[in-house]
Amino acid sequence: MSLLKISNLHAGYGQMSILKGVDMTLEEGEIGVIVGPNGAGKSTTLKAIFGMLNITEGSIEFDGEDITGIRSEELASHRIAFVPQENNVFHTLTVHENLEMGAYIRRDDFSRVMDHVYEIFPPLKEKRRQPAGELSGGQRQMVAFGRALMIEPKLILLDEPTAGLSPMFMSQIFDRVIAINKTGVTVAMVEQNAKQALAIAHKGFVLANGANSFTDTGRNLLENPEVAKSFLGG
Amino acid sequence: MNDLVFFINKGLLSGMIIGSIYAMGAIGVTMIFGILRFAHFAHGDMMTLGAFVTLIIAALLASAGVVLPFPIAFAAIIPAMAVTAVLAIGLDKVFYKPLRNAGARPVVLVMASVGVTLMLQGLIRLFAGVRARDMFIDQPKDIFQIPFPGASRAVILTEPQIVLIGFTVIAVLALHLFLTRSRLGKAMRAVSDNPELARITGINTNHVVWATWIIGGGLACAAGSLLSMDVTLKPDLSFNILLPIFAATIVGGIGQPYGAIAGGFLVGFCETLAVFNWSVLLRPIQDSLWFELPRNMALVPTEYKLMVPFLILIIVLIYRPTGIFRGRVL
């Protein structure tokens, strides 16, 4: 059974439809990367999973349960975490408080997970008493990841995690994504830097005009001359 | 020395008292703005409503034969705060929540709150009439004269004023601990900071909204009750201080609870010091002054007192457009 199964998804904002039949399947423990030109509906697909859009047709199944059109507040309790592209930390809260808020739905003792997050992102431990808004872009991204990890998610959705970061931070972020994935978390990621992202992906989904144009393993997509020609830039 | 005591009574203490009232009102207004994103114009009438609830509970307690060593209205404030908090949640449920759920723009909610203002004023007048009432139904308020060394005049404080100052200190400390230490308090700050991210994180927005009305309604009730004990309870009691409260909220930085406290006291002190007759303080050093002291040397005539908060508002906003504590840009 697949962990995430999106079939024939049609969705949009209000009356305007953006997704016109997206299919996506992820097995547990995989990294899935969604790539495609601007306006293809990459981020929209993530937002549709997260209940932030009107779904008109199709279905989303998670762990055997139908979660189509679920409200965003409820997803955390299904252990799905989302890291938006922008404004993904609480700027006025300290780093530590950001992590605590990540664990808001947990009523158990989460100090072990907190220690684990500080272990993966050592700079955060140093700056735990600082407001997250004062951190650099790369460190803010760490806070956003850390916040998402606090529920020990089964699936983590990342919307362009490297957007606006320098190349050095970019490879660091990809390393972290691999590290998070190694702990058993399934990752669904939208990326602009298609080549690097597909290189770490188990599965890749190339979207165009709101629908899949290619679906294959990351390696095969990278080697597919048609994909390369149409969109990876040769 | 007597002149100094006069200054303490008319300037410092008055400023502190009106500042406390403004601060408690402004905390509610600023938190409602931070969480629910609209200016709650019915806040003044929520204060009056709270004062009436206190009066009703005090009357009920008195008729039940309860006798306390202090005026019964003080004891009635605590249950009245709870009742007002519930009423505030009820008002939200009936008037504001349906609009929020329909995705109404903030200006629609502001208009709705103006409607609630008119409705509350009407209801209060309908049931209580327009006359002024005394909150001290069982015994008169105590007035304390604290002797000041070297002066024949005494520093004068009344019972409700002492309770008000003490209550404000406790409320501010409790609010600070709640916002920085408790899970729900941090969630409130998170929702105020970034509502969308808070939703994604799984923070229960309903709980946060309730907490906002409980704090806003409870403090409004306490401020309204203590203000009406300091003067008298009238149906238009708090409507008149709504504008200074909004000035305090904006001066402090809208959406910032600490800013609301600072703004409340700043506006309160400026107001009383602006109408204070400074010639009283200057009279002892008349000889060393190069001009003749007029009999009344207030910066602003008392009739123009209401102008002061807005003058401060303009001055602060010129130099710090988002308020002292850097609130949201409106």
Give B146-190 pLDDT, tens digit per residue. 888 888 888 899 999 999 999 999 999 999 999 999 999 999 999
The minimum CA-CA distance between B303 and chain A, rounded to whole Å, is: 41
Which parts of chain A register pLDDT below 70?
231-234
Question: Taking CB atoms and an 8 Å limit, are B186 and A97 in contact across chains?
Answer: yes
Q: How far apart are CA B16 and CA B166, in angstroms?
A: 11
Quickly list DSSP for B16-63. Answer: HHHHHHHHHHHHHHHHHHHHH-S--TTHHHHHHHHHHHHHHHHHHHHH
- The whole-number pLDDT of residue A233 equals 56
Nearest to A185 by CA among A81, A109, A101: A81
Ranges A156-165, A195-204, B214-223, B247-256, most confident: B214-223
For residue B193, give the nearest of A50, A82, A93 by CB distance.
A93
Distance spanning both ends of chain A, measured CA to CA: 36
- Answer yes or no: do B200 and A87 touch at CB < 8 A: no
Strand order in the sheet with A31-35: A80-83, A155-159, A186-190, A31-35, A203-208, A211-217
d(CA A6, CA A53): 15
Terminal Cα-to-Cα distance of chain B (whole angstroms): 47
Q: What angle do CA B301, B304, B308 make, to 5 degrees?
A: 105
B197 by Cβ neighbours in 10 Å (0-12 / 13-18 / 19+) ranks as buried
- Strands (DSSP E) along chain A, which ranges? 4-13, 16-26, 31-35, 54-62, 65-66, 80-83, 155-159, 186-190, 203-208, 211-217
Q: What is the DSSP string of A33-97?
A: EEE-STTSSHHHHHHHHTT-SEEEEEEEEETTEE-TT--HHHHGGGTEEEE-SSS-S-TTSBHHH
Contact B204 A93 (CB under 8 A): no
Are A147 and B201 a contacting pair at CB < 8 A? Answer: yes
Residues 174-193 of B with CB under 8 A from A: 183, 186-187, 189-190, 192-193
Helix axes B43-63, B205-230, angle to 10 degrees: 70
pLDDT of residue A222: 85
Report pLDDT digits (tens) over A90-140.
999 999 999 999 999 999 999 999 999 999 899 999 999 999 999 988 899
Label residues B237-267 b or e (16+ Cβ within 10 Å = b): bbbebbebbbbbbbbbbbbbbbbbbbbbbbb
Nearest chain B CA: its distance from A73 CA (Å): 4
Distance of CA B61 to the CA centre of its chain: 26
pLDDT of amino acid B139: 85
One-letter amino acid for residue B262 of the chain? A
What pLDDT, in 10s, does the model give residues B39-79? 999 999 999 999 999 999 999 999 998 888 899 999 999 99
Nearest to B204 among A73, A92, A147 (CB): A73
CB contact under 8 A, A101 and B198: yes
Query: Out of A82, A91, A147, whose CB is closest to B193?
Result: A91
**The predicted structure's pLDDT at residue B179:** 95
CB contact under 8 A, B202 and A73: yes
- Pick B189's closest partner by Cβ from A74, A92, A104: A92
Backbone φ and ψ of A150, nearest 5°: -60, -25
Per-residue confidence (pLDDT) for residue B330, from 0 to 100: 47
| Beta-sheet pairing, B143-147 with B154-158 | antiparallel
- Touching B: A residues 137-166, CB under 8 Å: 147, 151
Q: Which tokens go with A98? A: 């950001």
Which one, of B20, B44, B29, lies nearest residue B327 by Cα?
A: B29
Nearest to B261 by CA among B223, B232, B287: B223
CB–CB contact B194 A102 (8 Å): no
Residue A137 lies in a domain: yes
Q: In chain A, how many domains are there?
A: 1
Can you give the pLDDT at residue B329? 54
Q: What percent of chain A has pLDDT over 70?
A: 98
Q: Parallel, antiparallel, or unpaired: how do β-strands A65-66 and A54-62 relate?
A: antiparallel
Q: Do A102 and B183 touch (CB under 8 A)?
A: no
Most B CBs within 10 A among A101, A105, A134, hence the mutation to make, goes to: A101
For residue A138, give its domain range.
89-151
Which of B192, B201, B205 has the CB atom closest to A101's CB atom? B201
- Residue A100 contacts B where some CB pair is shorter than 8 Å: yes
Structure tokens at B161: 């004023």
| C-alpha span between A108 and A102 (Å, rounded) | 13
Nearest to A76 among B186, B194, B201 (CB): B201
Task: Please list every residue in chain B whose beta carbon sits closer than 8 Å to the beta carbon of residue A74.
Answer: 202
Residue A234: the pLDDT is 43
Per-residue pLDDT tens over the stretch B121-130: 999 999 988 8
Q: What dihedral angle (degrees, nearest 10) is formed by the CA atoms of A195, A59, A104, A82?
A: 10
How far does A148 lie from chain B, in Å, by closest CA? 8
With bands split at pLDDT 50, 70 and 90, how would you rate the model's confidence at B246?
very high
Interatomic CA distance for residues B264 and B171, integer angstroms: 14
Torsional class of A29: left (φ above 0), alpha (ψ -120 to 50), beta (otherwise) = left
A176 residue type, one letter:
R
Residues of chain B neighbouring A93 (CB-CB closer than 8 A)? 186, 189-190, 193
Within a domain: residue A230? Answer: no
Q: In the CATH scheme, what architecture does the domain B2-285+292-319 have? A: Orthogonal Bundle (1.10)
Element (H, E) at B157: strand B154-158
Considering only CB atoms, A90 lies closest to which of B183, B197, B202, namely B197
pLDDT at A23: 92
pLDDT band at B97 (very low <50, low <70, confident <90, very high): very high
- For residue B36, what are its two tokens? 């629910």
Q: What is the mean pLDDT of residues B214-240?
A: 92
Give a yes or no: residue A205 inside a domain: no
- If you count DSSP H runs as helices and E runs as strands, how many of each does chain A have, helices first? 10, 10
Residues 6+ apart with CB under 8 A from B206: none
Work out the average pLDDT over B95-113.
94
Residue with tokens 């760490």: A142
Range of lowest pLDDT (A124-128, A150-154, B8-12, B245-249): B8-12
The alpha-carbon gap from A30 to the nearest alpha carbon of chain B, in Å, equals 22
- Is the confidence at residue B90, as pLDDT, over 90? yes
DSSP label of A162: T
Question: How far apart, in whole angstroms, are the C-alpha atoms of residue B324 and residue B312?
Answer: 12
pTM of the model: 0.90
DSSP string, B238-255: TGGGHHHHHHHHHHH-TT
Contacts of A87 in chain B (CB under 8 A): 194, 196-197
Beta carbons of B323 and B251 less than 8 angstroms apart: yes
Contact residues, A window 69-88, toward B, CB-based 8 Å cutoff: 72-77, 82, 84, 87-88
Looking at the domain assignment, is residue A35 inside a domain? no
Distance CA A188, CA A24 (A): 10
